Copies of this chain bind each other. A is one copy, B any other.
Amino acid sequence: MRLAIGILAILTLVSSEMALANDDVRKLQSVPSNWAMQLGNYAGQRYSPLNQITAANASKLHVAWTFSTGVLRGHEGGPLVIGDIMYIHTPFPNIVYALSLKDNGTVIWKYEPRQDPNVIPVMCCDTVNRGVAYADNRIFLGQADNTLVALDAKTGKVIWQARNGDHTKGETQTSAPVVIKDKVIVGISGGEFGIRGHLTAYDVNDGHLVWRAYSTGSDADVMIDPQKTMMLGKPIGEKDLGLTTWPGEQWKLGGGSTWGWFTYDPQLNLLYYGTGNPGSWNPAQRVKDGDRAKSDNKWSMTIFARDPDTGEAKWVFQKTPFDEWDYDGVNENILADITVRGQARKALVNFDRNGFAYTLDRQTGDLLVAEKYDPTINWASHVDMKTGRPQVVEKYSTYANGVDTNSEGICPAALGTKDQQPASFSPDTGLFYVPTNHICMDYEPFEVSYSAGQPYVGSTLSMYPAPNSHGGMGNFIAFDAAQGKIIWSKPEQFAVWSGALTTKGGVAFYGTLEGYLIAVDMKDGKELYRFKTPSGIIGNINTFEYDGKQYIAVLSGIGGWAGIGMAAGLTGEHEGLGAGALSLALDKYTQLGGVLTVFSLAE
Please name all residues of chain B whose beta carbon is closer than 8 Å to the beta carbon of A594 when the two chains form the complex.
68, 593
Segment at the interface with B among A104-112, A221-229, A329-337, A365-373: A104-112
User: Among B68, B587, B592, which residue has its beta carbon within 8 angstroms of that of A556?
Assistant: B68
Instruction: Label chain A's interface by main secondary structure.
Output: loop
Interface membership of A532, Cβ < 8 A:
yes
A556 to B595 Cα, complex, angstroms: 12
Q: Is the CB of A67 within 8 A of B107?
A: no
Contact of A602 among B67, B588, B589, B602 (CB under 8 A): B602
Nearest CB in chain B: distance from A301 CB, A: 36
Q: A72-B72, A593-B595, A595-B593 are in contact. Are A534 and B67 (CB under 8 A)?
A: yes
Task: Confirm or deny: A452 has a beta carbon within 8 angstroms of a beta carbon on chain B.
Answer: no
Query: Which B residue's beta carbon lies closest to that of A592?
Result: B70
Specify the chain B residue showing the minimal Cβ separation from A69.
B591
Shortest Cβ distance from A118 into chain B, in angstroms?
Answer: 20
Max chain B C-beta neighbours (<10 A), residue from A65, A535, A589, A591: A591
Residue in contact with A65 in the complex, picked from B107, B532, B588, B591, CB distance below 8 Å: B532
> How big is chain A's contact interface, by range?
35 or more
**Chain A positions 52 through 80: 1 when the CB is less than 8 Å from some CB of chain B, otherwise 0:** 00000000001101111110100000000
Given A67-B591, A72-B70, A72-B72 in contact, is the A532-B62 Cβ separation under 8 Å?
no
A540 CB–B CB distance under 8 Å = no
A277 at the binding interface (Cβ < 8 Å)? no
**Complex: A589 Cα to B104 Cα, angstroms:** 9
**Nearest chain B CB to A472's CB is how many angstroms away?**
17
Per a CB cutoff under 8 Å, which of B105, B587, B591 touches A532?
B105
In the complex, whether A285 has a CB less than 8 A from a CB of chain B is no
Task: Answer whether residue A533 sits at the interface, using C-beta atoms and an 8 A cutoff.
Answer: yes
Given contacts A72-B72, A602-B602, A587 and B66 within 8 Å (CB-CB): no
B110 and A68: CB pair below 8 A? no
Please give, as numbers and ranges, the residues of chain B lying within 8 Å of A450 by CB-CB distance. Answer: none
CB-CB < 8 A to A534: which residues of B? 66-68, 534, 595-596
Interface residues of A in 566-591 (CB under 8 A from B): 587-591
Q: Quick check: B68 and A595 within 8 Å, CB to CB?
A: yes
What B residues does A595 contact at CB under 8 A? Answer: 66, 68, 534, 593, 595
Q: How far is the CA of A532 from the CA of B105 in the complex (A)?
A: 9
Q: How far is the CB of A588 from chain B (nearest CB, A)?
A: 5
B65–A590 CB distance below 8 A? no
Contact of A107 among B63, B68, B589 (CB under 8 A): B589
Given A70-B72, A591-B70, A595-B534, CB of A62 within 8 Å of CB of B65: no
CB distance from A72 to the nearest CB of B (A): 7
A97: chain B residues within 8 A (beta carbon): 591
Closest CB in chain B relative to A600 CB, distance in Å: 11
The A36-51 residues at the B interface (CB cut-off 8 A) are none
Which partner residue on chain B sits nearest A66 by CB separation? B534
Chain B residue with the shortest CB-CB distance to A108: B588
CB distance from A174 to the nearest CB of B (A): 22
Using Cβ atoms and an 8 Å threshold, which residues of chain B touch A592? Answer: 68, 70
A594→B587 CA distance, assembly (Å): 16
What is the bound-complex CA distance between A531 and B602, given in angstroms? 13
Residue pair B104, A532 in contact (C-beta under 8 Å) = yes
B589 touches A68 (CB 8 A): no
Chain B residue with the shortest CB-CB distance to A59: B603
**Please, which residue of chain B has its CB at the minimum distance from the CB of A67?**
B534
Q: Most B CB atoms within 10 A — which of A105, A535, A595? A: A595
Q: Is the CB of B602 within 8 A of A66?
A: no
A25 CA to B104 CA, complexed, in Å: 40
Closest B residue to A596 by beta carbon equals B534
Name the CB-closest residue of B to A597.
B66
Distance of A546 from chain B, by nearest CB (Å): 15
List CB contacts (< 8 Å) of A113-156 with chain B: none
Chain B residues within an 8 Å CB radius of A535: 68, 70
For A68, A97, A557, A596, which residue has the most chain B Cβ atoms within 10 angstroms? Answer: A68
Separation of A63 and B61 alpha carbons in the complex (Å): 11
- A320 smallest CB distance to B (angstroms): 37
Q: Give the B-binding residues of A (Cβ under 8 A).
A: 62-63, 65-70, 72, 97, 104-107, 110, 515, 531-535, 556-557, 587-597, 602
- What are 17 inter-chain pairs, A to B, with CB distance below 8 A? A62-B62, A62-B602, A63-B531, A65-B532, A66-B66, A67-B532, A68-B593, A68-B594, A69-B591, A70-B591, A70-B592, A106-B588, A106-B589, A107-B588, A107-B591, A110-B587, A593-B593
Q: Which 7 A-B pairs have the closest CB atoms?
A: A68-B593, A70-B591, A68-B534, A70-B592, A68-B535, A63-B63, A65-B532
Contacts A66-B597, A67-B591, A593-B594 aside, 17 further interface pairs with beta carbons under 8 A come to A66-B66, A66-B515, A66-B533, A68-B534, A68-B535, A70-B72, A70-B535, A70-B591, A72-B72, A97-B591, A105-B532, A107-B587, A107-B588, A107-B591, A534-B534, A593-B595, A602-B602
